[in-house]
Amino acid sequence: MDNLRIVNESLAGERPVDEQTQAAVAILAERLQRLQQSSSLFAKIAFSPHVDRLQQQAQALVMG
């Protein structure tokens, strides 16, 4: 299962928000950061507020 699909399914409520979700968001964040470093064209691209909340929720579940 690819990372984008995991995040999409978690956002849609089709799969639980868990460690796999957190890992998928982290991988996508790393990829975005590499794109931003490679070209200024990507400088203003960011995750949606929904993905930011999903990431916070996943971190809270894993930590607590």
pLDDT tens sequence across 1-54: 699 999 999 999 999 999 999 999 999 999 999 999 999 999 999 999 999 999
Closest-CA residue to 22 (of 12, 10, 31, 33)? 10
pLDDT value of residue 53:
93
Q: Are 29 and 47 in contact (CB under 8 A)?
A: yes
Q: What is the pTM of this model?
A: 0.85
- Domain segments of the chain: what residues? 3-63
